[in-house]
Each structure stands twice: as structure tokens, then as C-alpha cells.
């Protein structure tokens, strides 16, 4: 299976929305369908702060990744937060996620991005091992905090 990346545009919103709904359900995220649809439409519209990539065949994607761009003095320039990363459950363990993350890292580096960040569930050791294998490190001295506006 190929983890080819396809930049999601307006025509991909329904496919991305369906994948996001599956991810949110799996993670126990309580988002309304309307909230999710509006956010997906925005990221598919070409806003400058975030992009979504479908992973695998565009018409039958295996998953998706949403990248949110920022800037960090600590990193020395542009940085990127992996906002969401999802591979369909039946397809996990085949290297698709690793292949996609490697491709994303190469693409971001080639475009001047200095650091990539992501969230991982604290007790999800298998996912932490995967990310560590790909060069991500836990930042024990930092905790991500959030405030809705």
C-alpha cells in the first residue's frame, strides 16, 4: 500500500470529514458534526495556517494528516504542529503511518520548517514507540495546556 500524500482541497472535504469523524470517535472526542464539518471545510479551503493531506488513494484514502503552521524562537523559525494524524484501524501496522510521517518531515524540512510537534496519549506506549522510532522525543519538562476562546 502506498502512503502517497494528496493535498486536500474543497472536493475532498466529505472524505476528510468522514475520516475525522472516525478518528474523533476512536479518541472519544466529543465534537458535533457541525463543528467538525466547518473545521474541515476551512482547512480544505486553503487557509494559510493549516493544510490537510489525504494518505493513499485520493478517492479511497487510508488516512489523513492535518498540519498547523507556526513560528518558534526556540526552534529558530517556522514550526509545525501535527494537529491530527489518523490511519484506518484495519490498515495499521503496515508501515503506512511511518511512510507518511517520513514524507511529511522531508517536505516540511525542504520548505524551511525547523521543528515538528505532535500530541500523544500519555499511556499509549505503542504509539510513543512508533514516534520515537521516527525521531520524536518526549518533552518531559513541558506540558501542553489549552484554553478555548
Percent of the chain past pLDDT 70, that is, above it, reads 99
pLDDT value of residue 148: 87
Q: Is the pLDDT of residue 95 over 80?
A: yes
Instruction: Find the CATH number of the domain harbouring 97.
Output: 3.40.630.30
Let me know if 31 is exposed, middle or buried by CB neighbors in 10 A (0-12, 13-18, 19+). Answer: middle
Does residue 30 form part of some domain?
Answer: yes
Is 63 within a domain? yes
120 in a structural domain: yes
Domain assignment of residue 146, yes or no: no
Q: Which domain holds residue 79?
A: 5-133
102 lies in some domain = yes
| Within-domain flag for 21 | yes
Asked, for residue 142, whether it belongs to a domain, the answer is no
Amino acid at each position: 500500500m502506498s502512503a502517497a500524500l494528496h493535498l486536500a482541497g474543497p472536493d475532498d472535504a466529505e472524505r476528510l470529514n468522514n475520516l475525522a469523524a472516525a478518528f474523533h470517535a476512536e479518541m472519544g472526542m466529543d465534537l458535533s458534526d457541525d463543528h467538525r464539518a466547518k473545521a474541515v471545510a476551512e482547512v480544505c479551503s486553503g487557509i494559510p495556517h493549516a493544510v490537510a493531506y489525504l494518505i493513499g488513494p485520493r478517492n479511497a484514502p487510508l488516512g489523513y494528516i492535518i498540519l498547523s503552521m507556526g513560528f518558534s524562537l526556540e526552534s529558530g523559525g517556522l514550526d509545525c504542529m501535527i494537529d491530527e494524524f489518523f490511519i484506518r484501524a484495519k490498515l495499521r501496522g503496515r508501515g503506512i503511518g511511518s511512510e507518511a510521517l517520513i514524507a511529511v518531515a522531508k517536505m516540511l524540512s525542504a520548505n524551511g520548517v525547523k521543528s515538528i510537534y505532535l500530541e500523544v496519549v500519555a499511556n499509549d506506549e505503542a504509539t510513543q514507540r512508533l514516534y520515537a522510532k521516527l525521531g520524536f522525543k518526549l518533552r518531559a519538562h513541558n506540558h501542553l495546556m489549552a484554553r478555548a476562546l
